[in-house]
A and B are shown apart, each in its own frame.
Chain A
Amino acid sequence: MSGKIRLATVWLDGCSGCHMSVLDTDERLIELAQKMTVVWGPYVDHKEFPPDVDVTLVEGAVSSQEDLHKIRMVRERTRTLVSLGDCAVTGNVPAMRNPFGVDAVLQRAYLENATLDAQIPRETIPMLEARVRPVHEVVQVDVYVPGCPPSAELIYSVLSALVEGKEASPRARFG
């Protein structure tokens, strides 16, 4: 493989712990940076998700209409889509609202627990989907990296395989 691969990272419904864990690869990032360019994501400041991305790491589950829109667009523009962490792979904590339904969650968060000006926001934030879904229920996923968060070692092993154009098949447990 010639040149650097184009890497993007996406943050859907998650706590950003997976992004933190990527940073936890510490000095190995310098080595990885020889072989990849980060073209989009919370780490960098590009406004538009670019076309022709080699690898996208997706953190978080698909919870809102914005997530849905974003992940479909990302899938179209990405060669290898990686579900990074339990929220992306299983739905994890964000999906814990599913047994109760979205109305109950909004009620609890914005009405019952509000001390001032209780109201359910309808305009300024993206609408929640009826159900939180893991990424692969919405678009095709190529690599699954479980963990909450996945360890830095695991992420490093996956990334170092992907930057070499090799297949990554990480073995790790959920949680």
Chain B
Amino acid sequence: MTLEELRKIAAAEQQTQQKYGHRVHVCIAAGCLSSHSDLVKEALRKEVLESGMQSDVLVKGVGCMGLCSAGPLVAVEPEGTLFAGVKAEDAAEIVAGLDSGAPAATSCPTDVPFFERQQKIVLENSGKIDPERIEDYIAADGYAALVHALAEMSPAEVIQQVLRSGLRGRGGAGYPTGLKWTTVAKAGEERKFVICNADEGDPGAFMDRAVLESDPHRVLEGMALAAYAVGAQQGYIYVRAEYPLAVKHLKTAIRQAEHMGLLGNSICSTRFSFHVDIRLGAGAFVCGEETALLASIEGRRGSPRPRPPYPAEDGLWGCPTLINNVETFANVPPIVRKGGEWFAGIGTEKSKGTKVFALAGRVANTGLIEVPMGITLREIIFQIGGGIPEGKRFKAVQTGGPSGGCIPEQYLDSPVDYESLAKIGSIMGSGGMIVMDETSCMVDVARYFMEFCKSESCGKCVPCRTGTAQLHDLLAKITEGTATPAELALVEELCDLVKHTSLCGLGQTAPNPVLSTLRYFREEYEAHIAKKECRAGVCQMHASGEVMP
């Protein structure tokens, strides 16, 4: 494959698509699929056939359009109209209105902040291309970066672009991606690996899932570029078995890319070979921790080991291994295509580019969004998210899942970047963002996340295994109204212990939801203990009197 040939495929595909006067995009990613968008797609197809419009109207399945709460979503290009909450029986009205432009009952405005305030890099193709057709990806400039890099750039030059872009790991910790690549590239060994961490497990988070379902080739291209840059020959995508659609689309994508010579042996007739295989995770949250993930791929029990040595030096089967998150890899093709400087021009001084968030909870527009780094939490929640429904009051926003924290109203104007979120007691995390209003009890939220960490702890190190269990019991007592002030002190002591003595990130960050809610909502804890009162009305308090443990 040469750049020339790639452009030919792209041109042919574009031409085919432009033949149609209307291209009807139906989201078939997990969110809309769960409300039967597959039936909608079939109904639309049937309706087009029956109206004899098949030569003018293309119905195609696409990935996530973002506004998941309003699904199933249907978009019509080139008009750019959108229909929400579409059922199979709405197909006739939509198809009938294609030529006249008459609005339908399910019409949904697109000139709203939800769409206008977003900036899409990772999700640029999401909701536009058919994730099961490589030609569609190529028509959207797909694989141009890889083919160009193989022909024109040295591995060092690829790394240089990534370094220049300022891209940082999107898995949560924010380690500079270019530095990681440099370390692996420098490692002397023959055999090296590139691993895509798709073990997304934070409650309420579905960023990686959407990317894999909507635009799998982008991730493969990012991995191939990484492999070329660091000198790896084999790649693995470690993806949860609970994401069957993502797995299916990935498998299709790998097969197609291999068929076109964009993966496999002698890619683009160069000496560069790169194979990608899928490894399914069995649903252990801790396997998102990189050393546990490595153990799992090696066929061992998924428990973390102490670092150093870091996987970049001593990874899969002892070989230097590059592990990046889905979203990190998805950022790489446009960086190589458009240059590191372009990417560095977006975002803040230390956090470049955009971030995908799964906006969930008590917010009007729940769904998947991509925003430039540096945007404020207020803009995300009240403009893009449309604010809190039912006239309720905002209380807190949780970022970073079980490793993150709850941010109260006074910090809503903080910019979203790695450092600012850390300063106010939370983390960027992988992109989960849960909005809570006055009907949420912060103690109960802390208890919920601790329950999650307790059951997801691998059990290897003592503080995480037993400390999270103790913490959960104590928090449960507080939510039942049977705890004492001394027990609250014990909670704080355990948080400090678990945070500072646990082996891996799971334990080290498990106390964060408790610490951040204690920092901003301490009076709620105290009300539960002293007055047996849950102002949010969530916790069922035990009647007074001695309650035995």
Contacts and interface: CB of A to CB of B under 8 A. Distances in A.
A162 B223 CA distance: 71
Contacts of B549: 130-131, 133
Interface string B190-234: 000000000000000000000000000000000000000000000
A129 interface: yes
Contacts of A130: 548-549
Interface string A95-134: 0000000000000000000000000000000000111010
Contacts of A131: 548-549
6 contacts: A129-B548, A130-B548, A130-B549, A131-B548, A131-B549, A133-B549
| Dominant secondary structure of chain B at its interface with chain A | loop
Contacts of B548: 129-131
B111 to A, nearest CB: 63
Interface residues of A, number: 4
A133 B548 CA distance: 11
A94 to B, nearest CB: 16
Interface of B: 548-549
B492 to A, nearest CB: 19
A36 B268 CA distance: 95
A75 to B, nearest CB: 15
Nearest to B549: A131
Interface string A12-52: 00000000000000000000000000000000000000000
A130 B546 CA distance: 12
Nearest to A68: B546
Contacts of A129: 548
A29 to B, nearest CB: 37
Task: Please give me the 3 A-B residue pairs with the lowest Cβ-Cβ distance, nearest first.
Answer: A130-B548, A131-B549, A131-B548
A130 B548 CA distance: 7
Nearest to A102: B548
A165 B548 CA distance: 36
A130 B482 CA distance: 15
Interface string A127-146: 00111010000000000000
Nearest to A129: B548
A59 B82 CA distance: 77
Nearest to B548: A130
A95 to B, nearest CB: 12
B543 to A, nearest CB: 16
